[in-house]
Amino acid sequence: MSRTSRADRSGDPGGPVDQGGPGDQGGPGDQGGPGGPGDPEAGLPVLLEAVLSVGSDLELHATLQHIVDSAAELCTARYGALGVVDPEHVRLTELFTAGMTEAERDAIPRLPDGRSGLLGTLISDPRPLLVTDLGKDPRAAGFPPGHPPMRTFLGVPIRVHTEVFGNLYLTEKRGGGPFTEADLALVRVLAAQAGIAIGNARLYETARRRERWIEGAAAVTTTLLAGRPAADALMCVAERARILADAAAGVVLQPTAVGGMEIVAASTEGDPGDLVGTAIAPGSAVLEQLLGGEPVFIDDSATDPRMTTHVRVRFGPSMMLPLQSGGQLIGTLALPRHRGGKPYDAVDRLLASQFASQAALALVLADAQYDREQLAVYEDRDRIARDLHDLVVQRLFATEMMLESTRRRSSTAPSGDTVGEELGRAVDELDSTIQEVRTAIFALQQPPTDAPTTFRGRVLRETGGAAVLFGFQPSVHFTGAVDALLPDPVAGSLLAALRGALAAAHRRSEVTSIEVAVTAEAESAAGPGRVTLTVSDDGITDPGARGTEVTWRSAL
C-alpha cells in the first residue's frame, strides 16, 4: 500500500469491455464471490466492514485511501487504485493506490493520467466494467516502463450526488481467476457508500479550507488597519495568500505609468530573486483581463502563450486575481505553484477570489485610515500654530513694545545709558524670539512629507538637513515678505549660497551654534529692492579666533 501520487501522462492497462450500465449487472452470480464459488453471501461481512471503514474518517485523503484499501481487500485484489477525475480537463489529477510498495511506485516514471486507454474510456463512459485479459483487449494502451504486469481488471465509477468524482480500479484477483459478477456487485455497493463518505469528507474539507481563508483574510485586515506602511501591507497580502493557497510564490502587481503592470511585492519560501520589478508589457491578453477586473486562471504558466514574463518558466498552475474595491483597481494578486504542481480546483479559485476582494477592501480602508491620521496631524499642527500666533507672539510683541517705551523714558535718567543698553538687549532678544516662534509656526504649517513649495519652506528644509550633520538645529530668521519678493532665479542663487555657507561651517571645528538670517527689502524711494543672506557660526577659524560670518546680497 502506498501513499498518494499525482497522475502524470502515460498509457494505462487494458481497454473497455461494455458490461452494461449500473442497472443491468444484477447481483452476485453463480461464479462465486469472495467466499468461494456458489457462496456470494460470504463477502457480506467483509463488505459491511469496508463500508464502516470508509465512513470513519472526515479527512478526504485518508477517506480515499481507506476506500481503495477496502475495495482491494473486499475482492481479494492484489492491486487497487482510485483515480480522482478533473471534469474540466477530463483527466486524472490524483491516484491513490493499494498493493504497491514505495519502490514499485518509484520505478514507474509516469503514472496514468486517464487521457487514453482503458482508464480514459472509463472516464468518458463512466459505467462498471470487467476485463478478463488486459493483453487481449483491443483498446488497451499497454503499461508504462516499470509497471507490474496485470491481466484481470475491474472498474467502477464513484459518484458524489450526480457528479463522477473518480473511478475505482482493481486488478489481479488473488488465486489467478478473473473478477466475477459478485465482485462487481460488491464493489458497486462499496462505491455507492464511498460516494457518500467522499461527499461528507469534501464538505468537511471545504469548510476547513473556507475557515482558514476567512481567518487569513481577518488577519490581513487586522494587520493592515494597524497602520503598517504601504510596502509592508502589500507584502502581508502576498505572503498570507501564498501560505493559504499552498503556492510557490505570492506576488502583488500594480499598474505602471505606461499601461502595464509591475510586481511590487513578492513572497516565496526562499529568495524571490528577480521577481520584484518584473513587468507585464501593455497589450498582453492577460493584462487586458486584469485591467478589466477579470480573474485569470492558468494551467501551466511555462507553456501558456498568454504569459510573457521571463519568470513564467519557473511556475505551473497559477491564479491572477484583481485587487479591486468599489470599482477601483488597486493591483493584482498572483499565486503561481511549482511546475507539475496540483492544479487549482473550483473551491481554491472561489476562496482565493473572495480573499482578494477582502484584501483589496482592507487596503482601501488602510489608505483611508492613514489619510485620516495624517489629516488629524495636520489639523493639530494648525491648531498649535494658531495658538502660538494668537497667544505667544502677541504677548511677546506687547512686551517688546513696553520695553521699548521704557527704554526711551529711561534715556533721560542719570543712569539712562546703562539701563538703555540693557533694555535694548532685552528688546533684541524678544525680537529674536518672535522671529524663532514665527519660523516654528511656519514649519508646523508645512506637510512633513511633502516637498516645500515656498521659499521659507525651502530654507527650512536646507537648515533641517544641516541639523543632521551638526547635531543641532540652526537658528533661522526671516525679515520682510521673502515669499512674495524673491523671484525664482534669486531664490535659487540664495539657496546655493546657503548650502555653501553651511558646508563651510561644517568644516570648522567646535561649531555649537549657527544663525541664518534672510532679509528682503522692497523697492522704495531709498533704493531698489534687495535680499541679504547672513550665515554666522561660532566655530574656530584660526588659533584663538572664533566665529565666522558670511554675507550674500542680490538685487531683486
Instruction: pLDDT band for 450, please (50, 70, 90 cuts).
Output: low
Residues 6+ apart with CB under 8 A from 124: 90
Q: Which single residue is written with the C-alpha cell 491564479?
A: 319
Instruction: pLDDT band for 443, please (50, 70, 90 cuts).
Output: low
Q: How far is CA 16 from CA 85, 94, 136, 153, 400, in A?
A: 17, 21, 11, 10, 108
478 has a pLDDT exceeding 80: yes
Total Cβ atoms within 10 A of residue 62: 12
Question: Is there a single domain that holds both residue 170 and residue 314?
Answer: no
Question: Is there a single domain that holds both residue 110 and residue 232?
Answer: no
List b or e across 263-301, with b for residues whose CB sees 16 or more CB atoms inside 10 angstroms.
bbbbbbeeebeebeebebeeebebbebbbeeebbbbebb
Q: Is residue 93 part of a domain?
A: yes
335 has a pLDDT exceeding 90: yes
Ranges assigned E (strand) in 285-399: 296-298, 315-325, 328-338
- Find the mean pLDDT for residues 341-352: 88
Instruction: pLDDT band for 333, please (50, 70, 90 cuts).
Output: very high
Predicted local confidence at residue 336, as pLDDT: 92
CATH number (domain holding residue 43): 3.30.450.40
Q: Mean pLDDT of all residues in the chain?
A: 78
Instruction: pLDDT band for 242, please (50, 70, 90 cuts).
Output: very high
Is residue 546 helix, strand or coil? strand
pTM score? 0.54
Identify the domain boundary among 146, 180, 207.
207
User: What gap in Å lies between CA 86 and CA 102, rounded to an integer?
Assistant: 25
| Strongest mean pLDDT among 235-249, 317-331, 424-438 | 235-249
Specify whether the CB–CB gap between 516 and 475 falls below 8 A. Answer: yes
Instruction: pLDDT band for 194, please (50, 70, 90 cuts).
Output: confident
Q: Is residue 422 part of a domain?
A: no
Instruction: pLDDT band for 375, please (50, 70, 90 cuts).
Output: confident
166 has a pLDDT exceeding 80: yes
User: What gap in Å lies between CA 164 and CA 194, rounded to an integer?
Assistant: 12
Residues 6+ apart with CB under 8 A from 384: 444
Q: Which single residue is written with the C-alpha cell 472526515?
A: 58
Q: Which of 4-13, 279-288, 414-423 has the lowest mean pLDDT?
A: 4-13
Bridge pairing between strands 514-521 and 475-479: parallel
Domain that holds residue 49: 22-207
Q: Is residue 7 part of a domain?
A: no
175: left (phi over 0), alpha (psi -120 to 50) or beta: left
User: What gap in Å lies between CA 398 and CA 385, rounded to an integer?
Assistant: 19
User: CA nearest 359: which of 321, 319, 323?
Assistant: 323
Identify the domain boundary among 181, 207, 233.
207
Q: Is residue 350 part of a domain?
A: yes
Residues 6+ apart with CB under 8 A from 274: 311
User: What gap in Å lies between CA 156 and CA 80, rounded to an integer?
Assistant: 12
User: CA nearest 82: which of 90, 73, 93?
Assistant: 93
Which residues make beta-bridge pairs with 130? 154
User: What gap in Å lies between CA 157 and CA 188, rounded to an integer?
Assistant: 8
User: CA nearest 93: which of 315, 351, 317?
Assistant: 317
Helices 181-224 + 60-74 axis angle, to 10: 170
Question: Is there a single domain that holds both residue 268 and residue 182?
Answer: no
pLDDT (tens digit, 9 = 90+) per residue, 250-286?
A: 999 888 888 888 888 888 887 777 788 888 888 788 8
Predicted local confidence at residue 19, as pLDDT: 35
Residues 6+ apart with CB under 8 A from 475: 436, 513, 514, 515, 516
Q: Containing H/E element for 351?
A: helix 346-387
- Find the mean pLDDT for residues 221-240: 79
Question: Is there a single domain that holds both residue 59 and residue 191?
Answer: yes
- Longest Cα pair distance anywhere in the chain, in angstroms? 143
Predicted local confidence at residue 56, as pLDDT: 65
Q: Which of 87-101, 320-334, 381-395, 470-484 has the lowest mean pLDDT?
A: 381-395
pLDDT (tens digit, 9 = 90+) per residue, 301-315?
A: 888 888 888 888 889
- The C-alpha cell of 498 is what? 546657503
User: CA nearest 86: which of 130, 54, 123?
Assistant: 123
Up-side HSE of residue 74: CA atoms within 13 Å toward CB?
35
User: What gap in Å lies between CA 545 and CA 481, rounded to an integer?
Assistant: 35
Question: Is there a single domain that holds both residue 235 and residue 332?
Answer: yes
Could you give the percent of the chain with pLDDT greater than 90?
A: 8
pLDDT (tens digit, 9 = 90+) per residue, 23-78?
A: 333 333 334 444 443 345 556 776 777 676 666 667 888 888 888 888 888 888 99
Question: Is there a single domain that holds both residue 55 and residue 180?
Answer: yes
pLDDT (tens digit, 9 = 90+) per residue, 97-116?
A: 888 888 888 778 777 776 77
| Strongest mean pLDDT among 347-356, 408-417, 479-488 | 347-356
- Find the mean pLDDT for residues 405-428: 67
Question: Is there a single domain that holds both residue 502 and residue 556?
Answer: yes
Q: Is residue 217 part of a domain?
A: no
Question: Is there a single domain that holds both residue 183 and residue 304?
Answer: no
Q: Is residue 377 part of a domain?
A: no
Instruction: pLDDT band for 446, please (50, 70, 90 cuts).
Output: low
Q: Name the domain count of the chain.
A: 3
Predicted local confidence at residue 36, as pLDDT: 44
Predicted local confidence at residue 2, as pLDDT: 38
Q: Is residue 369 part of a domain?
A: no
Predicted local confidence at residue 376, as pLDDT: 72
Q: Is residue 472 part of a domain?
A: yes
| Strongest mean pLDDT among 174-178, 517-521, 536-540 | 517-521
Question: Is there a single domain that holds both residue 192 and residue 237?
Answer: no
Composition of the chain by helix, strand, coil, percent to 5: 45, 20, 30
Up-side HSE of residue 484: CA atoms within 13 Å toward CB?
6
Identify the domain boundary among 162, 181, 207.
207
- By the 10 Å C-beta count (0-12 exposed, 13-18 middle, 19+ buried), 233 is classed as buried
Question: Is there a single domain that holds both residue 57 and residue 124?
Answer: yes
Predicted local confidence at residue 4, as pLDDT: 43
Is residue 348 helix, strand or coil? helix
Is residue 334 helix, strand or coil? strand
User: What gap in Å lies between CA 166 and CA 394, rounded to an integer?
Assistant: 86
Question: Is there a single domain that holds both residue 197 and residue 252?
Answer: no
508 has a pLDDT exceeding 80: yes
Question: Is there a single domain that holds both residue 233 and residue 174?
Answer: no
